[in-house]
Amino acid sequence: MPSEPAEVLDPRVARTRRDVVGATSTLLLEEGWDAVTHAEVARRAGYSKATVYAHWPTRLDLIRASIEQICDVADHPAATGDLRADLRAALADFADDLTRGHLDRLLGGVVERAHGNEVVRGLRTRLYDTGTSGMRAVLTAHVARRDVEPTLALLTGAVLVLVTFEGRPATTAVLDDLVDRALAATTPRGAG
C-alpha cells in the first residue's frame, strides 16, 4: 500500500513560520520570557500582529514554538569513546550555554511559570533533556544504569549553582574536579 504524501506547506506559510519563530527565539534568548509579545515579535519579524496572532494565538504558543526550535537545533560535542574526556566536553558545553545566558534565561522563564501549567512543565522537561542529552548519552554508554540520573543531577546541579546562582565561571579546573568526583561515585557499565 503506498504511503500518504507528506503535507505540502505553502512556501509563504513556511517563510512566515520561520521568520516569526526566529524572531521569537532571538527575543527570548536576548531579553527573556517577559519581552515576548505579539507586537514585538511582529515588529522584529516584519509581519502584522494579525498574522502573528493567526498562527500563534497566545504568547505561550510563540514561546513553545521558539523553545521547540531552539531544542531542535541544539548540538553537543561528538563522543569519542573516552568517558572522562567526553563527559568533560559535554559538561563544558552545558556550562557554556549557561554562561552565555541562553539556557539560564530559558530555564528561568519555564521554572518560574511551570507551577500549574502542563505546557510549561513540558517545556521545562524538553529544555533539561536537550541541555543534558550529551552528558546522558556519555553516561549511559559507560556507567551502570542506576548511576546515570544521579550523576547527571550532580554534574548539572553543580554547574547550575556555580554559574547561575554564584555567578562564577566554570573553569577547566572546576569542571575537571566535578567530573572526577562524579565518576568516582559511579560503577562502570556491566560491572557489579
pLDDT: which is higher, 139 or 104:
139
Residue 101 banded pLDDT, cuts 50, 70, 90: low
Mean pLDDT of 115-143: 93
Q: Which of 40, 38, 47, 48 is nearest to 19 (CA)?
A: 47
Residue 1 banded pLDDT, cuts 50, 70, 90: very low
Residue 47 banded pLDDT, cuts 50, 70, 90: very high
pLDDT: which is higher, 98 or 135:
135
C-alpha cell at 101: 545566558
Mean pLDDT of 148-170: 94
The predicted model scores a pTM of 0.84
Contact 82, 123 (CB under 8 A): no
* Cα–Cα distance, 124 to 120 (Å, whole number): 6
pLDDT in tens, 128-141: 999 899 999 999 99
